[in-house]
Amino acid sequence: MKPSVLLLLLAAVTTAAAQETLTPNTVSFTNLQGQTYKNVRLVRADWDGIVWKDDNGGGGRTFFTNLDAAFLERWGIPTNRIDLARSRAEKQAAFEAEGKLLRLQQEWAAPENGTLSMGGRFRPSRVSPPVLRLAAAYVISRRGQKLQDFEGTQSEDFVRDFFLFNFFHGFTAPGATMTGGTEADRQGFIAGQKYRLQNPQKLKETMEGFGYEATEAEGTYICYFEHSEFYPRGKTTQMWWLSTLGDSWPDLGTARNGIHLRVTGFLSPAGAYGHLNGYDHEFFATKIIPIDQH
């Protein structure tokens, strides 16, 4: 027998098993939500519920998950259909949710997607797929809710941008705290911190997804109140805002008059960074080593 014929036969058997003629034919019942159906004619039962008709030409389906097991016993339907129907419903809901998530993620990952509105520093299409997926899941969770945090805007791209912008801040500061901000700000920040702690092996992938390139440089570092100035050797016109991705800032002694360093980490795209946006780049260091110039 050909496989295709066998599959058709199996499908027919499965369908026949799921379609059952019910007795008694005319019944009255109340579902778990308190809605009562009087003198309706049971037509059949399938894997999900019962199909019925009334005397006015109407009809419908009542799902097993919305019925008391006693009714199923009375009608000769195995009560395990309730658990089976619940499992099918959960799988279907998960399948539909995954579909929504993938469609939104694919839309954002399209090359034509524009820069983020907060500074225009990175594109959603460059953000790593796992991070973009977290943003998509958050945006979908907000659908149907009034976005009071955003002065009435319904733009999902706007919510996504706030989430991703603060995801990055949380990712680069896993031990910090955040006060104020919108709900998307806070949830993005928390998600970034959690992702960093749970996925240390994805540091490079995540940083590059936000436009920060792996870089090693030597230069002079000057640090004092509201200043963290790194002057890279060979780039006399540039000043970088130096931060750390490590657990703590190394002891560099006094750096007000300048100290020579070798730094390894991730360099931002050109822009405006640091205190009062006065720096050409931002550099997140994973390693900082003082070097002897003598």
Structure confidence by residue, pLDDT tens digits, 12-32: 434 444 556 666 578 999 999
CATH number of the structural domain spanning residue 259: 2.40.50
Which residues partner with 242 through β-bridges? 283
Same domain, 72 and 126: no
Q: Who contacts 212 (Cβ-Cβ below 8 Å, separation ≥6)?
A: 266, 267, 268, 269, 282, 284
For strands 227-232 and 259-267, give the pairing. Answer: unpaired
Least confident of 3-7, 210-214, 228-232: 3-7
Give 251 or 273, the one with higher predicted confidence. 273
From 68, 83, 98, the end of a domain falls on 83
pLDDT higher than threshold 70 for residue 220: yes
Residue 292 is encoded by which pair of tokens? 């002897």
Same domain, 176 and 254: no
Same domain, 218 and 201: no
Report if residue 69 sits inside a domain.
Answer: yes
Structure pTM? 0.70
Give 95 or 285, the one with higher predicted confidence. 285
Which long-range contacts (C-beta less than 8 Å, at least 24 apart) are formed by 166-174? 166/192, 167/131, 167/134, 167/135, 167/191, 167/192, 167/195, 168/192, 168/210, 170/194, 170/195, 170/196, 171/195, 171/196, 171/206, 172/196, 172/243, 172/245, 172/284
Same domain, 176 and 224: no
Average pLDDT of span 58-64: 92
The helix or strand, by DSSP H or E, that contains position 42, with its residue range, turns out to be: strand 36-45
CA–CA distance, 237 with 252 (Å, rounded to integer): 24
Reported confidence tier of residue 67, pLDDT bands at 50, 70, 90: very high
CATH number of the structural domain spanning residue 78: 2.30.30
Q: Are 246 and 172 in contact (CB under 8 A)?
A: no
From 83, 98, 121, the end of a domain falls on 83
Report if residue 276 sits inside a domain.
Answer: yes
pLDDT higher than threshold 50 for residue 181: yes
Question: DSSP states of 83-135 as a string?
Answer: HHHHHHHHHHHHHHHHHHHHHHHHHHTSTT----TTTT---TTTS-HHHHHHH
Reported confidence tier of residue 134, pLDDT bands at 50, 70, 90: very high
Query: For position 160, what pLDDT does the model report?
Result: 87
Tell me the Cα Rg of the chain.
30
**Per-chain mean pLDDT for the chain:** 83
Query: For position 149, what pLDDT does the model report?
Result: 53
Same domain, 200 and 220: no
* Domain that residue 227 falls in: 213-290
Report if residue 88 sits inside a domain.
Answer: no
CA–CA distance, 282 with 266 (Å, rounded to integer): 8
Q: Are 152 and 187 in contact (CB under 8 A)?
A: no
Query: For position 15, what pLDDT does the model report?
Result: 41
CA–CA distance, 57 with 55 (Å, rounded to integer): 6
Give 36 or 13, the one with higher predicted confidence. 36
Taking Cα atoms as reference points, which of 202, 204, 215, 224 lies closest to residue 269? 215
Give 265 or 102, the one with higher predicted confidence. 265
Count of domains observed in the chain: 3
CA–CA distance, 236 with 280 (Å, rounded to integer): 12
pLDDT higher than threshold 80 for residue 227: yes
Same domain, 152 and 234: no
pLDDT higher than threshold 60 for residue 56: yes
Report if residue 93 sits inside a domain.
Answer: no
Report if residue 94 sits inside a domain.
Answer: no
Reported confidence tier of residue 261, pLDDT bands at 50, 70, 90: very high
Which long-range contacts (C-beta less than 8 Å, at least 24 apart) are formed by 202-205? 202/128, 202/130, 203/245, 203/286, 204/266, 205/128
**How many H helices and E strands in the chain?**
7, 9
Average pLDDT of span 132-158: 74
Q: Tokens 């309730």 label which residue?
A: 82
Residue 13 is encoded by which pair of tokens? 């058997």
Least confident of 106-120, 153-167, 241-255: 106-120
From 176, 208, 240, the end of a domain falls on 208
